[in-house]
């Protein structure tokens, strides 16, 4: 493969009548960690969902090449098979479905589609236990239903645990730091850092600079009103923290004279 792992060109997307992504351009190379910041409603989470294949949003223009292939043409589960993973901002509860059973089903679905051998319950358990250590999850997680009754912090740790097991090439972390206290944030950040690798790209979406103190990004992008309005290194994140998003926000357009006619 030549070129970056992910190349987004002029991506536009809308939900109902509202255009939310208004021309995104972004390139992320293997081994890189890119942070996407921006005020609420700037389109950060929409970008993550569109990349993961959520059909609530319709793509109205542009293209996304992932490892050279047209990502937008794939259904969500095929994107997962191709190595795209999204850590959800609000992980979903699935009552009655065991956490590990769920994850083994996912892993085996992916392995099967890739023509790899499926893991049996015993092998999987041994493998999963290793990965659980990355986010300091104890045995009690194994017996519980997917995210059911999990605290906010446990849900986010569970997302990173799933990422560790599924071993994606492109990981999109959608506000994984939101709702975490400082201890949980550290645990999650350590998990993420341990998964940094030369053949994996990560997009870390966050509202605050805080997470980036632990997960140090190679690049920082700032989104506003559906576009990336500034890019830089991690200094940009610090600058934003100091000055706020007003630094990058477009001034509201002055009303055009005579428009009322």
Q: How many residues bind another protein (CB under 8 A)?
A: 32
Contact 219, 231 (CB under 8 A): yes
Separation between Cα atoms, residue 140 and residue 129, nearest integer Å: 11
Q: How far is the CB of 145 from another protein (least distance, A)?
A: 7
Tell me: does residue 91 bind another protein (CB under 8 A).
Answer: yes
What is the pattern of x (binds another protein, CB under 8 A) and - over residues 97-136? Answer: x----xx-xxx-xx--x-----------------------
Tell me: does residue 96 bind another protein (CB under 8 A).
Answer: yes
Tell me: does residue 142 bind another protein (CB under 8 A).
Answer: no
Separation between Cα atoms, residue 34 and residue 130, nearest integer Å: 27
Contact 24, 76 (CB under 8 A): no
Tell me: does residue 57 bind another protein (CB under 8 A).
Answer: no
One of 81, 136, 216, 229 touching another protein (CB under 8 A): 81
Tell me: does residue 74 bind another protein (CB under 8 A).
Answer: no
Tell me: does residue 162 bind another protein (CB under 8 A).
Answer: yes
Contact 72, 64 (CB under 8 A): yes
Separation between Cα atoms, residue 188 and residue 153, nearest integer Å: 9
Q: How far is the CB of 162 from another protein (least distance, A)?
A: 7
Query: Is 10 or 56 the residue whose CB approaches another protein more closely?
Result: 56
Q: How far is the CB of 110 from another protein (least distance, A)?
A: 4
Tell me: does residue 15 bind another protein (CB under 8 A).
Answer: no
Separation between Cα atoms, residue 172 and residue 155, nearest integer Å: 16
Separation between Cα atoms, residue 58 and residue 15, nearest integer Å: 6
Distances (CA, A) of 71 to 24, 46, 120, 165: 15, 16, 30, 22
Separation between Cα atoms, residue 220 and residue 257, nearest integer Å: 38
What is the pattern of x (binds another protein, CB under 8 A) and - over residues 229-258? Answer: ------------------------------
Tell me: does residue 59 bind another protein (CB under 8 A).
Answer: no
Distances (CA, A) of 114 to 98, 121, 144, 201, 209: 24, 19, 29, 20, 37
Q: How far is the CB of 98 from another protein (least distance, A)?
A: 8
One of 166, 192, 203, 220 touching another protein (CB under 8 A): 166
Q: How far is the CB of 239 from another protein (least distance, A)?
A: 33
Contact 93, 145 (CB under 8 A): yes
Distances (CA, A) of 129 to 105, 203, 205: 16, 26, 28
Task: Using CB under 8 A, list all residues that contact another protein.
Answer: 52-56, 75-77, 79-81, 85-86, 88, 90-92, 94-97, 102-103, 105-107, 109-110, 113, 145, 162, 166
């Amino acid at each position: 493969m030549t070129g970056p792992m992910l190349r987004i060109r002029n991506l536009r997307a809308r939900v109902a009548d509202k255009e939310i992504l208004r021309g995104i351009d972004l390139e992320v190379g293997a081994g890189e960690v890119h942070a996407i910041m921006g005020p609420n409603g700037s389109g950060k989470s929409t970008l993550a969902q569109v990349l993961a294949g959520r059909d609530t949003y319709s793509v109205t223009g542009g293209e996304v090449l992932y490892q050279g292939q047209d990502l937008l043409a794939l259904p969500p589960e095929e994107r997962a098979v191709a190595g795209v993973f999204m850590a959800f901002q609000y992980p979903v509860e699935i009552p009655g479905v065991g956490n590990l059973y769920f994850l083994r089903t996912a892993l085996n679905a992916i392995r099967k589609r890739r023509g790899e051998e499926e893991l049996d319950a015993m092998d999987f358990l041994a493998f999963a236990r290793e990965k659980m250590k990355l986010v300091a999850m104890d045995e009690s997680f194994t017996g519980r239903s997917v995210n059911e009754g999990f605290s906010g912090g446990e849900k986010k740790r569970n997302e990173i645990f799933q990422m560790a097991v599924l071993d994606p090439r492109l990981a999109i972390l959608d506000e994984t730091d939101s709702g975490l206290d400082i201890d949980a944030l550290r645990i999650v950040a350590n998990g993420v850092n341990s998964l940094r690798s030369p053949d994996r790209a990560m997009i870390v979406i966050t509202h605050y600079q805080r997470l980036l103190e632990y997960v140090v990004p190679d690049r920082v992008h700032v989104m506003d009103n559906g576009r990336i309005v500034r890019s830089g290194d991690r200094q940009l994140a610090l600058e934003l923290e100091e000055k706020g998003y007003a630094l990058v926000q477009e001034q509201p357009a002055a009303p055009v004279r005579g428009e009322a006619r």
